[in-house]
Amino acid sequence: MVTDSNLISEVSGTGFIPHLALDFVIIGFHEQELKILILEYENTSLFALPGGFIRMDEDLEEAARRVLGERTGLTDLFLQQFHTFGSLERSDPESMKAILEGKGFAAGEHHWLLQRFVTVGYYALVDFTKVSPQPDLIADRCGWHDYGRLPQLMQDHTRILQFAMQHLRTNLDQELLGFSLLGEAFTMQTLQNLYETILGEKLNRSSFQRRMLQLGLLERLEKSYTGKAHKAPYLYRFKKLGIAPASF
């Protein structure tokens, strides 16, 4: 949905709150690996977290959902604000200027993107298979990278990413319900793998299973016959908790 007016305003800054940005750590899970959505600027070989700006007439949260939608093609995602970053060392006008000029935009000394920015950090948990990554107007590519093998990111984006992961780790149980990281149905082993990947440590199988089941958030479905020579695991999904569960 890139219109001319979008293009003009994103590059000129018209209609956006100046000096204030959004940055996103968009997290997926695929083949036992955490994946992070990263932008690439071809001419400079720079990598960055997806980001965006807030329109003057737009709620912060609304802006976050809009930008997230623009990068992933998805709406209604689990989205969590975790920290706002405002160090002066954040800005890196040289790199930004190179990126802009590489894309053919005139980047005078006072181009609005070259100014100092404070940025509000969000992370999103998404279903890897449902996302269709879209670069923004000044990026050349937008794609998944393995969390364990990320390229060096521009500015303080690595720090932002680490903050996000730390926040996610400490809130993992509370945010279980927002887990869009897995498909509709999954086995206990897949869930445990996800936990272990996020936490960065091995968990005990029986304890993990017991704890997950005791939370009362999982619904057991049919068995999943994988064709392997052993007992077939059950599939689970997260219960849709409309209202508080009846106590009888």
Partner DNA sequence: TATTATTGTCGCACTATGCAACAATAATAA
Partner DNA sequence: TTATTATTGTTGCATAGTGCGACAATAATA
Indicate the helix (H) or strand (E) that contains 11.
helix 4-12
Does residue 84 bind its own copies (CB under 8 A)? yes
- The least CB distance from residue 54 to its own copies, in Å, is 7
Q: Which is nearer to its own copies, 18 or 151 (CB)?
A: 18
Find which of DNA, its own copies, none residue 130 binds, CB within 5 to 8 Å per kind: none
CA dist., res. 37 & res. 229, Å (int): 37
- Cα gap 240→106, rounded to integer Å: 51
Residues found near DNA in the complex (CB under 7 A): 187-189, 203-211, 213-214, 223, 225-234
Nearest approach in angstroms of CB 54 to DNA is 39
Q: Are strands 186-187 and 118-125 parallel, antiparallel or unpaired?
A: unpaired
Report the residue number, 116 or 210, with the smaller CB distance to DNA: 210
Amino acid at 241: L
Among 34, 48, 63, 212, binds its own copies (CB under 8 A): 63
**What's the min distance (Å) between Cβ of 229 and its own copies?**
46
Could you say which of DNA, its own copies, none residue 223 binds, taking C-beta under 5 to 8 angstroms by partner kind?
A: DNA
101 is a site residue for its own copies (CB under 8 A): no
Closest CA to 39 of 95, 105, 117: 95
Q: How far apart are CA 191 and CA 113, in angstroms?
A: 41
Contact residues for 115 (Cβ-Cβ < 8 A; gap 6+):
18, 19, 91
- Sign of the alpha-carbon dihedral angle for 115, 118, 119, 120: negative
206 binds, among DNA, its own copies, none (CB under 5 to 8 A by kind): DNA
Min dist CB 61 to its own copies, Å, is 7
Residue 83 binds its own copies, judged by CB under 8 A:
yes
What number of other Cβ atoms are within 10 A of residue 246's Cβ? 5
The secondary structure of residue 90, as a DSSP letter, is G
Out of 1, 31, 45, 57, point to the residue binding its own copies (CB under 8 A): 57
For residue 56, the partner it binds in DNA, its own copies, none, with Cβ less than 5 to 8 A by kind, is its own copies
* Cβ atoms within 10 Å, residue 27: 23
Question: Which of 63, 81, 62 lies closest to 175 in space, CA to CA?
Answer: 81
87 binds, among its own copies, DNA, none (CB under 5 to 8 A by kind): its own copies
Residues that bind its own copies (CB under 8 A): 17-20, 54, 56-61, 63, 81, 83-88, 116, 118, 120
